[in-house]
Structure 1
């Protein structure tokens, strides 16, 4: 496998917010994550949706395609990316945007230093994940399509209810997020926008 994960970096050199995009993957796979894999490319529209002044977008490519319980390889990769963010942009909040397995990764690192907020899209949530710590001062939004047959919208609702977070249903939305793609993009853009404002106008 690759010795370390890879980051695709776009946007401001001196950002007010860093958006870390976390793609999906497989439950079990020790194959290397592909540069042009569908899950990785699926995050591209969200990078474009949040692009703007003061925003840097990092798209993480994991070492491996699988979650691989109990190793949880992508969680380690996300922690590596957060450490890189702290090194390159100290003090800049990191907003996590993850889809499917990437949403699960985001929830597993939600309490890590430097995380400013978490936006999980159609996340893969297993019963043990319901007890994951999410600090109360870190906004959490989970969006899920009601036609998703890959991950469970009900699990997302339970997680947000347990953590006092915000659940956004996407009527007619499936797991790939291709239907109603404008809605998915808008959800992510509006979640990130408060961090991207100039500090003098920041109301957070």
Structure 2
């Protein structure tokens, strides 16, 4: 699927969004009704620069294509969140996500936004759901340490997809989902058989899960998120 850009003069009207360098818009109508942003995985600690050609970033391109099929391209903005450095770095990456959301807010005003994150990106998306732009989060093989906050998810949709082969990952995804529901979120988890945390095996199944998650999160937002 190709991203069909608007004819001139609107082709690059969104370039004003590059204030922080963390938001890359890949497609946008003149007046988007919804925004889908993908967030790549990364290591726990690394001060090395993050670049668009890194494998963890490239892995999110087919994810963005998959979730774009859920929405009308005449109404949806599609984009990537880029990090200033590759690692989680004690939560510094969440600041990058919030910067990207602030850029989006300046660009489009208040827009229903779904964050689609993989691994570390899923953890960052869940924490960045505190931003008023965010209506939901889709987490693919999410990195969920114990005692992660869920209060910021109240009134939002959360969909987690986890490999069924990871007993620890499954347990943590289920526990997090239950706590998110208690906090007032609509939340669900899907287990993928045969997949791996890097989304290299059975990648098409991960892409389908991402698309299903976006569809369900947007539906929950339209109804009013609930447990």
1:56 paired residue among 77, 83, 87: 77
Alignment correspondent of 1:172: 194
Q: How many residues align?
A: 194
3-state SS of 1:21 partner: strand
Kindly state the Cα deviation for residue 194 of structure 1 after the two structures are TM-superposed: 6.5
Kindly state the Cα deviation for residue 37 of structure 1 after the two structures are TM-superposed: 0.6
Question: 1:55–1:196: 8 Å Cα contact kept in structure 2?
Answer: no
Alignment correspondent of 1:146: 164
> What are the within-5 Å matches in structure 2 for residues 30-109 of structure 1?
30-51=47-68, 52-53=72-73, 54-69=75-90, 72-109=91-128
Unaligned segments of structure 2, at least 5 residues:
1-18, 182-186
TM-score normalized by the length of structure 1: 0.86
Query: Separation in 1 of the partners of 2:50 and 2:170?
Result: 26
Alignment correspondent of 2:213: 191
Alignment correspondent of 1:25: 42
Query: Separation in 1 of the partners of 2:54 and 2:166?
Result: 21
Query: Separation in 1 of the partners of 2:209 and 2:147?
Result: 27
Instruction: Show CA shifts across 1:71-106 (max 9, x none).
Output: x22100000011011111112111010000001101
Unaligned segments of structure 1, at least 5 residues:
none
Kindly state the Cα deviation for residue 134 of structure 1 after the two structures are TM-superposed: 3.5
1:11 aligns with 2:27: yes
Kindly state the Cα deviation for residue 166 of structure 1 after the two structures are TM-superposed: 0.2
TM-score normalized by the length of structure 2: 0.78
Query: Separation in 2 of the partners of 1:107 and 1:35?
Result: 22
Question: 1:110–1:133: 8 Å Cα contact kept in structure 2?
Answer: no
